[in-house]
Every structure is written in C-alpha cells, then in structure tokens.
Amino acid sequence: MLDKCLEILDRALDTPLFAVDCTLGLGGHSRAFLQKFPSLFLVGIDKDEEALKIAEKKVGGSGRAALVHDSFANLASIVSSFGKSPDFIFADLGLSSLQIDKPERGFSYMASGKLDMRMDKSSPLSAKEVINSWDQKELERVFKSCQEPRSRFLAGKIAEERKKGEIATTGRLAEILDANTPFKERLQTKKRVFQAVRMEVNGEKAALESLLDAALAVSHPGSVIMVESYHSGEDRIVKNFFSAGICPKVPPKFPIEPEPYFEDLTGGALKAGGEETEKNSRSHSVRLRAVKVLSASERVKNLRL
C-alpha cells in the first residue's frame, strides 16, 4: 500500500522535513518517502542488523537518512537524540521478505528451518526455547493471544511430543500442528500458532503499545502517524489507540467534554485493492490506519511529566 501511504502524506502535509520509519526493513518505504519529499531527512529503525545492511544501500547513500539498530519501542529516546519532532511517523508491522523467505531465520512454516523467529539475532529468547522449555499453560496462553481456538489441546500435544525429542525446526513444529488439526483448518492453525510464538519471542504487543504512546508524545500538532498492521490483534491495538483521540470518551455527566486530539485520515482501516493483492498476495491482510495530531492530549501531557 505504498502508493496509498504517499497519497495520504501528500494530502496531509505540505513540506515534511523530518520523519521516522520505525520498521525500516529493506528500505523500500523509506526510499519512496525520500524520493517523494526532496527536503526530507529520515530516521530508519530496525532490530534486524541484516535488514539494516541491505537498507543502507538503498537509502544510506542519500546523506538524508540515519539508520538505527534498535527496537521501535525506544522511539522516544531515539527521536530525542535528533532534537526535533517528526512531521510523520510510519510503522509497517509485518515481517520483511528477508525474514519470511529465509528458512534459516525460522519465521515460516512453508519451508523447514531452525526454530528461531528472532528479529534481533542477539536477543536471548528464541522460538525453540518457547516451544521446548515453557510449560503447557504458558504455551496455551501464547497460542490464545492470536485467537487459536485449539490452544489448550495443541499446547498439550506439543508438550507430549517434546518428551520424545527436542522440537528444533519449523518443519517439525508444523508437522505436529498438522497431525493434530483437521485438514481444512491446518493452514489457519499454523498461521496463528507461528504468529503467536513470533510475537512472544519479539515482545511485539508491548513494543507496539510503547511505540504508539511514544509516537504521540514526540509528535507536534500537524504530525501524521501511520501504521500498517497484518492481523486482528495488532490492528485492534492501533484502532483503539487512534479511536481514543478521534472520539475521546468520558464517563456520563462528566462536566467537561474533551476535544479530539487526532484527525482520522483514512476513515478507519484501508485495505489493499484487488490489483495489489494479485501482485503481492501478502498484502491481502494489511490494514492501514493514519491520523493527524491536532493537539497534545492530557494523556501525552501526563507522559511528559
């Protein structure tokens, strides 16, 4: 949905001078932002050092980008080091093709590889540890986080299978899931379980919540915050955060009616069109939401104290 992102930014901003791409990936979005806005300086953040090296070739040579190896959960401290407030902040919460297409990274059930799933290879927790060491109740909790209806049953089966030998590959995990799932449900079950484990390994839910709070805290009136999410759990967090600023809610008979501090730029969630999903099947599940900051909310004022 790159074209849609550029269209929204072009409509909402005059001449953006400073921006943050919180999920640099291979640098495709950042390169397009820099090409679209000739006066723009951009900070690109990513936990994946391999991705940063590739993105450096796309955007690093422009002299208008600074690449940072860090989690977007630390957005506030990263932005503060540059001494100015971003005109727009962008985050694409999906995996990059670099991660999906390399079996050795352990993100995909499509080809067998090491059971890893770490976006930052220096992180201590891997998917292998979660699957082989965490107790059955914890596995059930993890699977439920992505609405897997057979969470308890599958957690029990994994606990049984690992007694026979370590579950060391994505292929072995997928095999166990398939063997204990009705045929028609196998694909969705693997999607949910792999996604749930990946999010646990990388602390994605907490990081997203920190990112949204920080994005609002470092923005100024007129800034745009734009997020692409790929499953209902992520999108729900983004939707609720944006909705709180678009239509602030207060208890009944509250003496003061709060002013909105976000303007909705997308009218809810935008989805990829048929032409785009035909070219890129991975765009089928994307949901794009964007808001313009109108003012500092009481929530932000409290965060800044």
pLDDT exceeds cutoff 60 at 305: no
Instruction: Look at 27-41, 55-69, 155-169, 188-202 and tell me which has the smallest mean pLDDT.
Output: 55-69
Closest CA to 67 of 82, 81, 76, 56: 56
Among residues 91, 89, 90, 30, which one has the least CA distance to residue 64?
30
Q: Tell the residue number behind the tokens 């943050």, with chain if given.
A: 20
Helix axes 49-59, 28-36, angle to 10 degrees: 30
Q: Which amino acid is at 14?
A: D
pLDDT at 29: 95
**What are the residue ranges of CATH 3.40.50.150 in the chain?**
2-98+204-304
Domain boundaries for CATH 1.10.150.170 within the chain: 124-201
Distance CA 5, CA 31 (A): 13
- State both tokens at 169: 């590959």
Q: CATH homologous superfamily of domain 124-201?
A: Putative methyltransferase TM0872, insert domain (1.10.150.170)
Name the residue type at position 221: P
DSSP state of 263: E
Residue 96: band (very low, low, confident or very high) from pLDDT cuts 50, 70, 90:
low
pTM of the model: 0.86
Sign of CA dihedral 171, 175, 286, 271: positive
* Domain 2-98+204-304, CATH: 3.40.50.150
CA max distance for the chain: 64
Q: What is the DSSP letter of 9?
A: H
Q: How does DSSP classify residue 81?
A: T
50: helix, coil or strand? helix
Radius of gyration of the chain (CA): 20
Query: What's the pLDDT tens digit per position in 107-154?
Result: 889 889 999 999 888 889 999 999 999 999 999 999 999 989 999 999
* Cα–Cα distance, 215 to 275 (Å, whole number): 32
Residue 163, pLDDT score: 96
- Among 14-28, 121-135, 210-224, 241-255, which is the least confidently predicted range? 241-255
CB within 8 A of 283, min separation 6: which ones? 1, 272, 276, 277
Confidence of residue 5 (pLDDT cuts 50, 70, 90): very high
Per-residue pLDDT at 97: 66
Q: Is the pLDDT of residue 298 over 70?
A: no
Among 30-39, 168-177, 239-248, 269-278, the range scoring the smallest mean pLDDT is 269-278
Residue type, 29: H
Q: How confident is the model at residue 303 (pLDDT cuts 50, 70, 90)?
A: very low
**Predicted local distance difference test score (pLDDT) of residue 282:** 62
What are φ and ψ of residue 287, in 5° steps? -130, 125
Spatial separation of the C-alpha atoms in residues 84 and 81, rounded to whole Å: 8
